[in-house]
Structure 1
Amino acid sequence: MATNVAILASGSGSNFQNIAESDLDITIKVLIVDNPNAYAIERAKKLDIPYRVVDRKHYTKETFEKEILDILKECDVELVVLAGFMKILSPNFISKYEDKIINLHPSLLPSFKGPEGIKDAFEYGVKVTGVTVHYVDSGIDTGKIIAQEAVGVEDTDTLETLEEKIHEIEYRLYIEALKMVLEEL
């Protein structure tokens, strides 16, 4: 029986599309975007996946999260997958889906937490960075790690080439990690 999933995104939606086109045993009940200009909406339309826009500019944090929780309940969502969702969720929200919210982060956590993981690692000058998939808890990028993969940083890398290498790993690793999570549900 397929697991009912909601995907939350803020931007282009490339990880959303990758998940939607995968062989995961899931039903994407809804894509929720907090940015009405997110390209993820166009991807949802092409994939014939229902989407909802909850524009964070029109809500307080509390009412924003309540609206999303209402949608998740309405869609009978069992697992929440963050795919470039650039909003920190409150402990109250997380408690409603404890160990059922998964996030992808473009660094080897616990290093380089926050929204600029690739840039921060590159500017620091590390020789190895990577990708982490983790459960969301009430901290910022502090939840239990599901999977990680290292990515070497070459002297010839630019920020752009490093971003490309990271994204290539993200697409594969997120699917592998989600398979592990689904086996445990």
Structure 2
Amino acid sequence: MTKPKAAVFASGTGSNFEAMMTCENLACEIVLLVCDKPGASVIEKAECFGVQTFVLNPKDFDSKGDYEANVLQSVLDAGVEWIFLAGYMRLVGPTILHTYEEKILNIHPSLLPAFPGKDAINQAYLAGVHQTGVTVHYIDEGMDTGPIIAQEQVEILPGDTIEALKDRIQKVEHMLYPEVINSVVMEWLKA
């Protein structure tokens, strides 16, 4: 059976992108990387894996709608059926959201609804909580407000540094995201 095609949207280093690409038996084929930050490290990773890249600077467009129309066209041209956000630092608007309703997943480094938005690891660290974690969820119009699919806790240890906490969270992300992708995509294939 042919695997469904997927795109990853990322803005940074691409550690979750790399985790997907190196996952044995991922239930879909990553065929496209969409990046909104020219020069981001994830672009080089995609090229190393032979994945087509589509890099656009949102500032080059008159509106978010124009930017998203270009992104949507690239995704449709690649035959993409699923979109996985992996450190994509933009809210996805209605142009893409409505076309891929219930087909866009995001990973977030906290136990949502706690610490949504940017810098969630630092938010949790500074709040003095004893645990944080990782959430994989469907996206909606809000900031990290879509229906939660899976969560895994990560303890904040006495004497932890932000760097140590971030490393532990990323290890969980790199295991959890491919597992959830496989679960969701396999369920969709059965339907």
TM-score range, shorter chain: over 0.9
Where do 5+ consecutive residues of structure 2 fail to align?
A: none
* Rounded Cα–Cα distance in structure 1 between residues aligned with 2:66 and 2:110: 31
* The one of 97, 101, 106 aligned to 2:100: 97
State the number of aligned residues.
Answer: 185
Whether the aligned pair in 1 keeps the contact of 2:27 and 2:181 (CA below 8 Å) is no
Structure 1 residues 99-154: Cα deviation after superposition (integer angstroms, max 9, x where no partner): 00000000000100001111101000100100000000111111111110000111
Match of residue 41 from structure 1: 43
Match of residue 62 from structure 1: 65
Match of residue 79 from structure 1: 82
* Rounded Cα–Cα distance in structure 2 between residues aligned with 1:25 and 1:108: 25
Whether the aligned pair in 1 keeps the contact of 2:72 and 2:95 (CA below 8 Å) is no
* C-alpha RMSD of the superposition: 0.9
Asked whether 1:28 is paired with 2:30, we answer yes
Asked whether 1:132 is paired with 2:112, we answer no
Match of residue 115 from structure 2: 112
Whether the aligned pair in 2 keeps the contact of 1:8 and 1:31 (CA below 8 Å) is yes
Whether the aligned pair in 2 keeps the contact of 1:91 and 1:137 (CA below 8 Å) is no
Match of residue 150 from structure 1: 153
Match of residue 6 from structure 1: 7
Of all paired residues, the percent bearing the same amino acid is 41
* Rounded Cα–Cα distance in structure 2 between residues aligned with 1:39 and 1:103: 19
* Rounded Cα–Cα distance in structure 2 between residues aligned with 1:135 and 1:109: 12
TM-score in terms of structure 2 length: 0.94
* Rounded Cα–Cα distance in structure 2 between residues aligned with 1:133 and 1:81: 10
Asked whether 1:178 is paired with 2:185, we answer no
TM-score in terms of structure 1 length: 0.97
**SS of equivalent to 2:54:** strand
Whether the aligned pair in 1 keeps the contact of 2:68 and 2:95 (CA below 8 Å) is no
* Rounded Cα–Cα distance in structure 1 between residues aligned with 2:58 and 2:15: 21
Structure 1 residues 73-112: Cα deviation after superposition (integer angstroms, max 9, x where no partner): 1111100000110011113421111100000000000100
What is the one-letter code of the residue matched to 1:162? L
Match of residue 163 from structure 1: 166
Aligned structure 1 segments of 4 or more residues deviating by more than 6 angstroms: none
* Rounded Cα–Cα distance in structure 2 between residues aligned with 1:132 and 1:145: 7
**SS of equivalent to 1:175:** helix
* Rounded Cα–Cα distance in structure 2 between residues aligned with 1:64 and 1:184: 32
* Rounded Cα–Cα distance in structure 2 between residues aligned with 1:168 and 1:2: 26
